[in-house]
A and B are shown apart, each in its own frame.
Chain A
C-alpha cells in the first residue's frame, strides 16, 4: 500500500472527523510499521477478547454468538461494513482500527477504546486479516472523497429531494420518513442469509458506523458490504452525496435525547385530549425513554425491535392522559404496548420487579394490542401471569403512519377498582414501558422493556415542581447507587 496524495487527504479528513488522528500513519512507510506489529500480541488479544463472539476460526460462531442479532461477523469472507474503500473492497488498516476502537452501536460489537491499547488494536486488526485470504491478494485503497461543504437549509432540501426522488430512491428501503419501513424493507436478508432491516434514520446513535454527517456521507458512498445497503458512489456525485448526508443528518440529533429525571404530567383544566393530533399536546414536553432487551427471564431477547418511546403526560385532577409514540417498521396484528405501574405504592418505595412484577408485588398494565384494537387493564405478578381485570377503565386511541405508532391512553386517577393503583399527585409514581414488534416473533413478555422511571403529577402550585427537581435527581442517583452496591455484594457473596 502506497500513500498517495488523495489517500493522505482522505485519511486526514477522516481522522479529523472521527477523532482518529492517532491512527494516521506517522511514517512514510506504514507497511514497515505494520510488519513490526506483533502478530503474537494480536493472536492473544483475539483469544482473550474476541473469540467468545467471533469464534476461534473467525467464523462468527463463538460460544456467545447464539441469539445475537446481528450475529458476530464471520471474517472468512472479507466482508466489512464500515470502510473508506469502494463497495466490496476490503477495509484499510485504519478502517479496521476505527471500527474496533468505536465498536458498532446498536449491536453487541463492543467499543474497545477504553479496554485495549492502540498497539493491541492494531495487532488484533492484523490478526483478523489472517482469516481471509483476500487480504493476501488485494490491497485496499480509500475511495477519493470530498470534504464536507457544510450543511445548509438548501443542501438539506436538495438532499430530501434526492432521498425520495428517482435519482436515489432511498425511500424504497428506508421509507418516507426514514424510519426503515420502506416497501422493500420487509424481506431483506444480509449476505449470510440472516434477516436484516434498514436503519431507522431517526436514531443515528444506533448507526453501525457512527452518527456524524461525515460518517453518513461515507456509508452512502461506500455502502455497507455484506448488507443490502448499496453504494451510491457510481451514481451520485460528491455534492449530491453530501446533500443526502446532510438531509439524513437533519432528521435527528446524533445522541439520544437526554433522559429527564422524571416524567412530568402538567395539570390542565377541563377535559384531556384523546387524539394524538390534538393541539393540546403541542405545548407538552416530550421525554424519550430507551427500551432494551430483557435477558433475565425466558424468552431472552438481546436486541428487540423497538428501541425507545417518546412520552407526554397531562392530568386534570381526575384523569391522567399519556401520549406514547414509538417506531415499528412493520404494522402487525401482534404488535402491542404496555404501560406499567405498581398495583400499590409501597411505603418504603420498594417496587415490583420491572419485568411485569413479582410474586409479592403486582403491577397494573395498560395493555394495548393491534389485533382487535384491544385496550385493556391487566394485572401481573411476573412473566406469564397477566390477567385481565374485571373492571375496565381505559379509554384511548391509536394511529399508525410511516412506521410510527401514536397511542393516547387515559384513565381516571382513582377508578374505585381495588385492583387499580390510585395515582397520586405531588408524589413520584414508578412507571415503565414495554413494546412488542409482532412480526419479529416477540411475545408480550419478550419484547422491548425499560426499567422503572418516575412519573410526577404536578400540583396546581407551580413552585412545587422546582422543589422536587433536585430531590428527584438525588433520589434517582441514590437508588442507582443502592442497586449497584447490592449487586456488588451479591456477586461477591
Chain B
C-alpha cells in the first residue's frame, strides 16, 4: 500500500515538473485510428503538353441532384458580429427547380495534351466577404498562385491542408486587402479554412490540365477544344463527393455527359 502511494507521488512529481518533455508511462489503451485518408503517392509527372487544338470536340451536359436538400445550415455568429452578422446561412447544396446542381467540378483527369493551361485564366481570386469565401470552390492550374482578398477589414487566416502540395497558414489582418499564395505544384483537392471563423471553408481544385469547369446555376457545363479520344471525367461536389465516368469525344463532335447525385 505504502509503496504504491509513494510510487504514485514520484510519478506525479515527474508529471508536474515544469518545462515539459516528460515521458508518460505507456498505457495499454487502444490507440485511436489515424485519419482514414492517407497521403497519396504523388502522381507521376508526365507533364501536360499545352498547344493548339485543331478540330477538337466538346463535352457538355448537366449535373443534377435528385435527393433531398438538407439545410440551409445556420451558424450562430459569436464573434465579429458587426461584420459577419448574427447568423450565417450556408447552403451545402444549391440547385435550380429542375435539379441542376451548382458548383460541381467537372474535370478530365487523364489527358496529356490539349489546349494551353492558360485557358483557365491568369488570375485566381478567393475573396473573404461577409465572413464567407467567394467562390466556395476555386479551380487553379498548377504553377499558378491564388490571390486572396480580404473585403471584410477584420482578421482572417488563410489555412490550407493539402496532401501533396505544401500547406500554408497565413494571417490576413483587415489592413491587408490582398495576399498571394505560393503557386500550387501538384493537382489535388485542397481544403481552405479560416480558424478565426470556424464556419468558413472553401476548396481549391488544383488541376494540371485546363479541362476543368464549375457547373453554373442550372447545373450545366461545357468543356471545349477537347482533342478526340476517350477520357476519364471526374465529377466532384463538396458535399456529395466524387463520381467518375468515361467519355469518348470525336473530332469536331459534341459528347453529352449527364450525371446525377
Of A60, A255, A302, the contact of B24 (CB 8 Å cutoff): A302
> Interface residues of B toward A: which range?
35 or more
A290 touches B9 (CB 8 A): no
Pairwise interchain contact A235-B170, C-beta atoms closer than 8 A: yes
B29 at the interface (CB under 8 A from A): yes
Given contacts A60-B34, A225-B167, A490-B7, contact A230 B159 (CB under 8 A): yes
CB distance A233 to B79 under 8 Å? no
Instruction: Check A66/B31 contact, CB under 8 A, given A166-B175, A168-B171, A295-B25.
Output: yes
- Let me know if A167 and B173 touch, CB within 8 A: yes
Q: Which residues of chain B in 182-224 are interfacial with respect to chain A, using CB atoms and an 8 Å cutoff?
A: 182, 195-198
Residues of B within 8 A of A302 (CB): 15, 24
Known: A60-B34, A66-B27, A172-B196. A234 touches B170 (CB 8 A): yes
Contact check, B24 vs A108: say whether CB atoms are below 8 A apart.
Answer: yes
Q: Which residues of A contact B175 (CB under 8 A)?
A: 166-167, 235
Q: Name the residue on B nearest A168 (C-beta).
A: B173
In the bound complex, residues from chain A placing their C-beta under 8 Å from that of B158 are 230
Contact A188 B23 (CB under 8 A): no
A interface footprint on B10-26 (CB within 8 Å = 1, 0 otherwise)? 11110111111111111
Flag whether B248 is at the interface (Cβ < 8 A): no
Query: B170 and A87: CB pair below 8 A?
Result: yes
Measured in the bound complex, the distance between the Cα atoms of B196 and A188 in whole Å is: 8
* Contact present for B9 and A451 (CB under 8 Å): yes
* Contact call A103/B21, Cβ cutoff below 8 A: yes
CB of A87 within 8 A of CB of B20, answer no
Contacts of A61 in B (CB 8 A): 31-34
Question: Does the CB pair A228–B154 fall under 8 Å?
Answer: no
The answer, among B16, B18, B170, for a CB contact under 8 Å with A205, is B18
Which residues in A have their C-beta under 8 angstroms from that of B2?
486
Q: A105, B27: Cβ atoms under 8 Å?
A: no
- Are the CB atoms of A228 and B5 closer together than 8 Å? no
Interface string of B155-190 (1 = CB under 8 A from A): 101111101101111111111100100100000000
Interface check B35, CB cutoff 8 A? yes
A493–B6 alpha-carbon span in the complex (Å):
14
- Contact stretch, chosen from B38-46, B122-130, B238-246, B251-259: B38-46
Closest B-chain residue to A87, C-beta based?
Answer: B168
A225 contacts which chain B residues (CB < 8 A)? 167, 169
Q: A59-B34, A103-B20, A192-B35 are in contact. Are A449 and B169 (CB under 8 A)?
A: no
Provide the residues of chain B in CB contact with A233, threshold 8 Å: 170
Q: How far is the CB of B200 from chain A (nearest CB, A)?
A: 11
Docked pose: A353 CA to B11 CA in angstroms: 13
Q: Are B31 and A184 in contact (CB under 8 A)?
A: no
**Which of A89, A449, A486, A493 counts the most B-chain CB atoms under 10 A from its CB?**
A486
Q: A52-B26, A67-B29, A137-B42 are in contact. Are A105 and B20 (CB under 8 A)?
A: yes
- A62 at the binding interface (Cβ < 8 Å): yes
Contact status A183-B78, CB under 8 Å: yes
* A93 close to chain B: CB less than 8 A: no
Given A184-B196, A234-B179, A295-B15; A65-B21 close (CB under 8 Å): no
Whether B30 sits at the interface, judged by CB under 8 Å, is yes
Chain A residues near B31 (CB, 8 Å)?
A: 61-63, 65-66
- Quick one: closest B residue to A294, CB to CB? B12
Please, how many angstroms separate the alpha-carbon atoms of A290 and B11 in the complex?
A: 15
B121 within 8 A of A: no
Please measure, in the bound complex, the distance between the C-alpha atom of A175 and the C-alpha atom of B168, giving whole angstroms. Answer: 23
| A256 contacts chain B at the CB level, 8 A cutoff | yes
B interface, over-half SS: loop
A79 to B2, CA, bound (A): 45
Report the minimum CB–CB distance from B111 to chain A (whole Å).
23
Residues of chain B contacted by A104 (CB below 8 angstroms) = 20-21
- Say whether, besides A52-B26, A65-B31, A184-B197, A134 and B15 are in contact (CB < 8 Å): no
Q: How far is the CA of A296 from the CA of B8 in the complex (A)?
A: 6
A172 adjacent to B167 (CB under 8 Å): no
Selected from A63, A138, A292, the residue in CB contact (under 8 A) with B15 is: A292
**B246, chain A: closest CB distance, angstroms:** 30
A483 B79 Cβ-Cβ under 8 A: no
Chain B residues with CB below 8 A from A138, complex form? 166
List residues of A (70-112) whose CB comes within 8 Å of B's CBs.
Answer: 74, 76-77, 79, 86-90, 103-111
Q: Tell me, yes or no, whether A450 is within 8 Å of chain B by CB.
A: yes
Distance in angstroms from B102 CB to nearest chain A CB is 28
CB pair A88 B166 closer than 8 Å = yes
- A56 CB to nearest chain B CB (Å): 12
B residues less than 8 Å from A450 (CB atoms): 16
Q: Which residues of A contact B20 (CB under 8 A)?
A: 103-109, 206
At the interface, yes or no: A245 with Cβ under 8 Å from chain B?
no
A79 touches B167 (CB 8 A): yes
Q: Are A231 and B169 in contact (CB under 8 A)?
A: yes
Within 8 A of A (CB), among B70-98: 78-80
Question: Is the CB–CB distance between A134 and B30 below 8 Å?
Answer: no
In the complex, whether A418 has a CB less than 8 A from a CB of chain B is no
A76-B6 CB under 8 A given contacts A66-B30, A184-B198: no
Q: Are B169 and A223 in contact (CB under 8 A)?
A: yes
Residue on A with the closest CB to B21? A103
**A490, B3: Cβ atoms closer than 8 Å:** yes
A133 to B11, CA, bound (A): 39
Q: How far is the CB of B8 from chain A (nearest CB, A)?
A: 4
Q: Is A64's CB within 8 Å of the partner chain B?
A: yes
Contact between B18 and A451, CB atoms less than 8 A apart: no
Q: Closest CB of chain B to A363's CB: distance in Å?
A: 13
Establish whether residues B22 and A77, one from each chain, have CB atoms under 8 Å apart when the complex forms: no
Residues from chain B with Cβ under 8 Å of A86 in the complex: 168
**Minimal beta-carbon separation of A52 from chain B (angstroms):** 6
Closest B residue to A57 by CB, please name it: B34
Chain A residues with CB under 8 Å of B198's CB are 184, 187-188
Nearest-CB distance from A224 to chain B (Å)? 8
Residues from chain B with a CB closer than 8 A to the CB of A64 are 24, 26-27
Q: How far is the CB of A295 from chain B (nearest CB, A)?
A: 6
C-alpha gap A490/B7 in the complex (Å): 8
- CB neighbours (8 Å) of A79 from chain B are 167
Known: A61-B31, A67-B27, A172-B196. A111 touches B3 (CB 8 A): no
A67 to B16, CA, bound (A): 17
Taking CB atoms, residues of chain A closer than 8 Å to B155 are: 166, 168-169, 172
Given contact pairs A88-B166, A111-B21, A172-B196, a sample of 8 additional A-B residue pairs in the complex whose CB atoms are under 8 Å apart:
A63-B26, A87-B167, A87-B169, A223-B169, A234-B179, A235-B171, A296-B12, A493-B3
- 8 closest A-B pairs (Cβ-Cβ)? A292-B16, A105-B20, A228-B195, A169-B155, A88-B168, A296-B8, A103-B21, A490-B3
A-B contact pairs, 8 of them (CB 8 A): A87-B170, A235-B170, A290-B18, A294-B8, A295-B24, A295-B25, A296-B7, A486-B6
